[in-house]
Amino acid sequence: MRSDLIFGALTHVTNRYQLCQLASKATRKLHKPNTRLQDTTNEVLVRFRHANPFAFPPVLEQKTSSVEQRRAA
């Protein structure tokens, strides 16, 4: 059940509002066409249960900043 996944994800993220924000962003980035959005959301919550979502910096922000630096040079 999804409620079990949510309570499992709350081990790393204590604020429920913040969990919703992180889960929605991760779901948008990980969603693949021709798959159910519910399955992608469940997969994100399982990942949050096993790993801290704050442990690693976002990859997309690092890539865009390096591209902007190249253009300016």
Least confident of 31-35, 60-64, 66-70: 60-64
Q: What is the DSSP string of the chain?
A: -HHHHHHHHTTT---HHHHHHHHHHHHHHH--TTS-HHHHHHHHHHHHHHS-TTSS--HHHHHHHHHHHHHH-
Chain-wide mean pLDDT for the chain? Answer: 79
Q: 5-18 pLDDT, tens per residue?
A: 888 888 888 888 99
The confidence score (pLDDT) of residue 28 equals 92
